[in-house]
Amino acid sequence: MFYLIGLGLGDLKDITVKGLEIVKQCSRVYLEMYTSILGCSLEDMQEFYGRPLLLADRDLVEQGADEILAGAGESDVALLVVGDPFGATTHTDFILRAKEKNIPYKVIHNASIMNAVGCCGLQLYKFGETVSIPYWDETWKPDSFYDKIKLNRLHNMHTLCLLDIKVKEPTPESLMRKRKEYMPPRFMTVAEAAHQLLSIVEKKDSLEKNTVLNEQSLCVGLARVGQESQQIAVGTLLEMRSTDLGGPLHSLIIPAKEMHPLEVEFLQQYAASIKLDDYNH
């Protein structure tokens, strides 16, 4: 049997009872932590689970699925992922490959950022399409995510922005030499995301700034959701550019232009410098 097990968002104790029982019985257990990270070390997890874990890096997950699935038809093999197993399309591919190989499988769900963002007080059913904000570089500055934010705003819906993670990214030089060397891990902050959004907004005309997004638009920054050190900050897009929420992982929310009174009341506790009633229009 192949098991795809969600670990939740906080720490090693967020695994479900069912998930933990399966981990203890498997012949091999892989841990994937390149699409997200958990607030504890590999050593702590191995001690808590009472067994060794095999690290599944980006290359293994994206190119070595057959290696992970090997033998899962005869014995139990598990892949542990931070959040919920279906939070990343990469994990969906494992299920398709297992079915192709006639390997039985089970999915053990858990909390993910997609539902845990409700901790800020915004109602989940009012969220529109989720977007990803990638890191820019000198030659690549994609901005298609802005159009999705715009569409959500025009339909009076919140937008969850998932911020880029760079883990085990090969350097351009190593790709040319065909010998892999990796850049240090990078995790986009809400300040970096706000900076890129402001760069896009500055190029828009006055009508779009007034109807869609501008530097005074309300934003919600979240960091380390589900962990003891969780932080939430509410401010304008301009203020978010200089907001420091500490270590990863960060997420950014662009709320709808009109919010429910309960949403406004809940968000106000995180808004130190502004009165949210002025933004609810």
Same domain? For 135 and 274 the reply is yes
112 is in an annotated binding site: yes
Phi and psi dihedrals of 106, rounded to 5?
Answer: -140, 145
Domain that holds residue 210: 114-278
CA dist 65 → 69, 92, 104 (Å): 6, 11, 15
Q: Which of 80, 111, 142 is the last residue before a domain boundary?
A: 111
84 is in an annotated binding site: yes
Same domain? For 125 and 175 the reply is yes
Same domain? For 70 and 175 the reply is no
Q: Please, what is the Cα angle at 198 between 113 and 112, to 5 degrees?
A: 5
Same domain? For 63 and 91 the reply is yes
CATH number of the domain residue 235 falls in: 3.30.950.10
113 is in an annotated binding site: yes
155's CB contacts (< 8 A; 6+ apart) are 128
d(CA 266, CA 279): 14
Same domain? For 67 and 149 the reply is no
CATH number of the domain residue 76 falls in: 3.40.1010.10
Same domain? For 82 and 201 the reply is no
What pLDDT shows up at residue 175?
65
What pLDDT shows up at residue 156?
95
d(CA 163, CA 37): 13
Phi and psi dihedrals of 133, rounded to 5?
Answer: -105, 110
For the entire predicted model, the pTM comes to: 0.91
Residues of the chain with pLDDT under 50: 281
Same domain? For 186 and 80 the reply is no
Q: Which of 95, 111, 127 is the last residue before a domain boundary?
A: 111
Half-sphere exposure of 35 (CA within 13 A, CB side): 25
Same domain? For 105 and 120 the reply is no
pLDDT digits (tens, 9 = 90+) for 201-256: 998 887 787 788 999 999 999 999 999 999 999 999 999 999 999 999 999 999 99
Assign residue 233 a region (left: φ > 0; alpha: ψ between -120 and 50; beta: otherwise): beta
Q: Which of 111, 144, 170 is the last residue before a domain boundary?
A: 111
d(CA 202, CA 192): 16
To the nearest 10°, report the CA torsion of 208, 211, 217, 221.
Answer: -90
Same domain? For 81 and 204 the reply is no
Same domain? For 8 and 65 the reply is yes
Same domain? For 137 and 105 the reply is no
What domain count does the chain have? 2
d(CA 213, CA 237): 9
77 is in an annotated binding site: no
Same domain? For 193 and 119 the reply is yes
